[in-house]
Structure 1
Amino acid sequence: MDWLERSARLRQWSRGGTRAPHKPLLFLYALGRFQEDADGELRYSAVEEELARLLAEYGPPHRTTPAYPFHHLVSDGVWEVRSERGPGSPGSGVRDLRESGAAGRLAPDLRAALRREPALLGRIARILLDLHFPPSLHGDLCEAVGLEPEPVGGGRPSDVRRQRSRRMRELVLTAYEYRCAFCGYDGRIGAVPVGLEAAHVRWWAFDGPDTVDNGLCLCSLHHKLFDKGVLGIGDGHRILVSQRFIGHSSAAHDHVTALAGRPLLGPQPGIRPVAAAHRAWHTGQVFHGTPRPAPACDGSATGGRVRGPSVPGQWSE
């Protein structure tokens, strides 16, 4: 059985680019727990709260329950559920899973395959990360579930990934004149930019094209906050800041909350700005909650710029 192919083709509800990472998140969590205890089971009532936190942080903006993937992942052949009523899931409802003492774990054949070939676990994890989350979140997500995925190049099915454009980073950074579109940060060491990244607005994992009108030049901090749904792009290409973001320090104010309502910096004249369809996808599928109102003083007198973070640069989506 080809576990890589099966992992790449989890059945998920999908319509018009809607994110539904519930099964991949449970699968990643189960792989992490398998590393800790290959024979252990995950009792739903014991892991429900932790799974709910994962869904809240890495799932879509609308609220959901971990009962959904706990029940439905069984149909993909990688997961099994047992309860006091016997083999099989007792239902998809929270009450069904709690009251029946339901517990799940990786399917027997998959557990056997992982014991025979330990490197398979990392390759499965890499596929799940690549297909459902942007690279800027991979490290945090692996840490959250206790995983260390296989390095890039570790045995993916040949048709799992589209070919990325090698020029995307150069084109996007040039379009935005090598400065963060949110804060204006433009740090360099000599001629080499540091802490600047090319971000996909509509994630590459969800058919976001490698085009300038789907890209933003962002500093490392704002890239991470953009992919976490703290920041977004609204009408008139103005910055959205989620009301769910809480930060009381002056740094949190200057680097995040004060951005609400400011116009993006760039792109330079003659280059298409972020397309409305990509902005709408990000707002609907990534941005969390309701946008904060723009502050009375939005920093327009200084071009809407604040000092950006000085952190190492890299290319990711």
Structure 2
Amino acid sequence: MSDPISHYEELFYDLHTGVVGNHERPHKPAMLLAVMDLIESGALTENLIPFSPELRQRFTFYYDIVRLENDRNTPINPYFYMRSESFWSHVATSGNEAVVRALSSPPTIGKLPALIEGAKLAADLWNAVSHPTQRGQLRDVLISRYFPQHRHLLLNQPVVSCVTKEDEETYQLPGRSAGFRRIVTQVYEHQCAACGLRLRRPDGATIVDAAHIIPFSESQNDHPRNGLALCKNHHWAMDRSLIAPGPDFHWLVSESLDSRQAGERDLIALSNRPLILPKETAYHPLPEALEWRQCRLA
């Protein structure tokens, strides 16, 4: 694999999390952050991750920050169900390989040590998270994607603050996540949320961009609900505050536009048209992101 970091950025961006309504359960990203913290602190030095008190404590640290009221502090669940991700597997204790493979749900905490010696990361992922800069990059993907509203708090914790100034400048480039582009264009079915234009080539090239509603440079929010699929023209117009997706899911247009100009007439015609939204409501834009855009309409 030529670029393992880009590969794992995409995988981390699209974890198989539980979803309740519009809420993605925080357990898997919190577990990965906990693992990286143990590596950074020196508590984890080899590619075998036991279900240790230290791991559970660090998981709980993240969980307590990001949880919602209906979430439950069950670190054994992400530790077990992470095996649905291609980069995580379990090392069974001697003689229990078939038993562990056959498990469809996690064993109790009391029984787990007798069955599972530890979890193991894919070798290239382990090499990446063992390197401070690459570990910081992957941590930033998790926080930007799953916990953007807690970003400042999480990045200023003692163990988490390993991103150097140089690294921060690299990570905070707008649109740096390929996962954001892939998910947003997919859920919008490669169709512009403003005009409905859809064009996709056999090689996968598409006419729409994945546009951040609140720019990534300001929000560090790479969640797909901070995104819209827009054609080049409407992406350009939104970035210049000539049009804005409103909180009621209808388009707003700037009063500065001149109906005497042909190109501007096309934008004015968008006024009060409904956004073309994903079928899955879990990917509908964040209300606070739409309000941010509305307030900045020229």
> So what's the TM-score if we normalise by structure 2?
0.49
TM-score with structure 1 setting the length: 0.46
